[in-house]
Amino acid sequence: MRDRGVSTTLSYVLTLTIATLLVGGLIMAGSSFVEDRREQVIRQELRVVGEHLASNVEQVDRYGRAADTVQTASVAQNFPNDVTGSSYTVELKRGSPPQLFLNSSRPRVRITVNISTTSSICSDNTASGGPIVAEWDTGSSCLEIQNAQ
Amino acid sequence: MANLNPSRARSRGQILLIAAFSLAVIFVALALVVNSAIFTENLASRGEVGGSSDALVYQDEITDSVGETIEFANLYNTSDLATSVDDSVSTIGARGGVQQATGGQLVHVEYLGEDFGHRIADNASGGSAFLNESSPTATPDWRVAETVDRTRNVRITLTDTSPLAGTAGTAFTLEANESTSTIWEMRVWDDGSNVVVDVETAGGRTAQCRVPDTTPIDIDVTRGQVNGEPCHALTWTGPDGDQMWWDTGLSPLNDYDIWIKNGDRIEGNYSMIVDGTPDTQNLSSGFASGDDPYETPAIYSARIDYVYMTGEVEYDSEIVVAPGEPA
């Protein structure tokens, strides 16, 4: 009878500890699930943005080759400013084939999209998420991207 | 029993409360992720930027319309070709602009200028041999035009295959002659059952195409077609990139002369537009319906300013319209 006070306290502490462990485990599992899904969605969204932008660059390439003299050719599109809460940048790099690299900041995700063009890319240039315009440089007869004003 | 811990009654379930708040935050984050996923699906299902391919489709339509205007003016106008084409282009631009505006596109078409040339033709009713102006004696070998820079719309219509030679050696020949060693030539002869179009480029490559010898036979030399179908001998591109098109192998920096050889071994009509000088010793001036070939001033090509704009697309180009020019 004189140990009853100890058993109540011990039982209480054990209950709290087990509850804390269970709840902590549940929260950890939940947040890692959300993180994992977020990264998947960011990857998918960057790929979709990249494919749209690549299609715009290829369209401007067709414009540049469609007439004897082209004064202006551009296609602009309003892309989302961020992907699932993470800001991102788009790099257009020369090469064979030219490529678009889309990088999100947090979490670090990098997507590559190949572009098929006949004309060359002016130089490696970068644009951030948001309205992006694919343009034809009349002087150098090449392609570039930049943020629309 | 006495209540040993009266103060704890008000602070029970704190861990569960914290857990509930944390889970609520997780659910809100999950909702944000799901929302982004739905938006991504929506973005993926969208097509190209509105109007981006229409810019080139409409440019082709304008090119075709202006081309037909040029051809009409060359055939039927006797004076001020440029003004008539300019007026027609203004009409095309005005009507097309209104139609495009209803779809939310801004289109502007403007005539900028032209390059003059000459139309050389023989329109004898029922066809005739391809001889020069018969003064005093028509000859079967004669120069049609000299110092030619470009040629388009070279069309020959055979109305009778009986004068055609049986072999290539004595066949009717149309030549683009840059020098004695640099000649593009097309021969037309009959092998007994088919009319043969035989082409030899300045580089020495040869090719032939055949059609049944049933008249009329239309040969569009610069478009590369016989009776409306592509002719291998006039369009073929070899594995080394060498092509068979009109004037292949001639230097783009040099002029050439156009000759007809064995013009008595063919019967029909022909016409062409040259950016060069017609040989007026062999041609009469002005429209003629007899069997003598003639030359008239003609527009060789026209330059058009074409602007196509929507909220997302901007395209401004200068088109050169020269219908029937070789590829």
Segment B227-232 long-range contacts (CB within 8 Å, at least 24 positions apart):
B231/B197, B232/B207, B232/B208
Alpha helices in chain B (DSSP H): 14-45, 54-76, 81-101, 232-235
Q: Would you call B44 and A72 a contact, using CB atoms and an 8 Å cutoff?
A: no
Question: Average pLDDT of each block of 10 consecutive residues along chain B (327 residues)?
Answer: 55 80 91 92 87 91 94 84 92 91 92 94 88 76 93 94 88 92 92 91 88 91 91 81 79 89 93 92 82 89 95 94 84
Q: Is the pLDDT of residue A9 over 60?
A: yes
Taking only residues 48 to 67 of chain A, the set having a beta carbon closer than 8 angstroms to any beta carbon of chain B reads 48-49, 51-52, 55-56, 59, 62-63, 66-67
Residues of A in contact with B33 (CB under 8 A): 34, 37-38, 41, 84
Q: How far apart are CA B89 and CA B217, in angstroms?
A: 33
For B278-297, what is each residue's pLDDT tens digit?
998 888 888 877 778 999 99
For residue B312, the model assigns a pLDDT of 93
Q: Which of A13, A35, A36, A45 to mutate to test the interface with B (most CBs of B within 10 A)?
A: A45
Query: Is some CB atom of chain B closer than 8 A to the CB atom of A13?
Result: no
How many A-B residue pairs are in contact by the CB < 8 A criterion?
111
Residues of A in Cβ contact (< 8 Å) with B3: none
Chain A positions touching B30 (Cβ under 8 A) are 33-34, 37
pLDDT score, position A108: 93
Interface touch A56/B52, C-beta < 8 Å: yes
Cβ-defined contact of B16 to A85 (cutoff 8 Å): no
User: Is A10 in the B-facing interface, judged by CB distances under 8 Å?
Assistant: no
The shortest CB-CB distance from B36 to any of A52, A77, A83 is to A83
Higher pLDDT, residue B249 or A96: A96
Chain A residues with CB under 8 Å of B63 CB are: none
Contact across the interface for A68 and B318, Cβ inside 8 Å = yes
- Give the residue among B152, B249, B159, B241 at the shortest CA–CA distance from B199: B249
| A120-121 and A142-147 beta bridge pairing | parallel
ipTM: 0.83
Residues of chain B with Cβ-Cβ distance to A73 below 8 Å are 314-317
Looking at residues A139-147, what average pLDDT do you find?
Answer: 92
This prediction's pTM: 0.81
Shortest distance, CA A58 to any CA of chain B (angstroms)? 11
**Residue A67 with chain B: CB contacts under 8 Å:** 59, 306, 317-319
Element (H, E) at A71: strand A69-78
Instruction: Tell whether the model's pLDDT for residue A3 goes beyond 60.
Output: no
Please state whether beta strands B313-321 and B217-220 pair in parallel, antiparallel, or not at all (unpaired).
unpaired
* pLDDT recorded at residue A5: 61
For residue B24, give every residue at least 6 positions away whose Cβ sits within 8 Å of its Cβ, in sequence order, or none. none
Q: In chain A, what residues touch B44 (CB-CB under 8 Å)?
A: 48, 51
Arithmetic mean of pLDDT, A102-113: 93
Residues A91-104 as b or e (16 or more Cβ within 10 Å = b) = bbeeeeebbbbbbb
Is the CB of A37 inside 8 Å of chain B's CB atoms?
yes
The pLDDT assigned to A68 comes to: 83
Query: Would you state the pLDDT for residue B8?
Result: 52
pLDDT at A35 over 80: yes
Binning pLDDT at 50, 70 and 90, where does residue A148 land?
confident
Q: Which two tokens stand for residue B169?
A: 């050696």
Q: What is the pLDDT of residue B254?
A: 86
Nearest CA in chain B to A69: B318
Would you call A72 and B314 a contact, using CB atoms and an 8 Å cutoff? yes
Calculate the alpha carbon distances from B231 to A88, B269, B273 in Å.
54, 19, 21
A110 token code pair: 């990098």
DSSP string, B137-196: ---SSEEEEEEEEEEEEEEEEES-STTS-SSGGGSEEEEEEEETTEEEEEEEEE-SSEEE
Could you report the per-residue pLDDT of B20-30, keeping only the tens digit for each? 998 899 999 99
Q: Which residue from B15, B314, B317 is facing A74, i.e. has the nearest CB?
A: B314
Cα–Cα distance for residue pair A88/A79, rounded to 1 Å: 11
Average pLDDT rounded to a whole number, residues A35-49 = 93
Write the pLDDT tens digit of every residue in A112-139.
999 999 999 999 999 999 999 999 999 9
Evaluate whether B184 touches B176 at the Cβ level (below 8 Å). yes
What is the C-alpha separation between B200 and B206, in angstroms, rounded? 4
CB spacing of B26 vs A84 below 8 angstroms: no
The shortest C-alpha distance from B37 to chain A (Å) reads 6
User: Mean pLDDT for chain A?
Assistant: 91
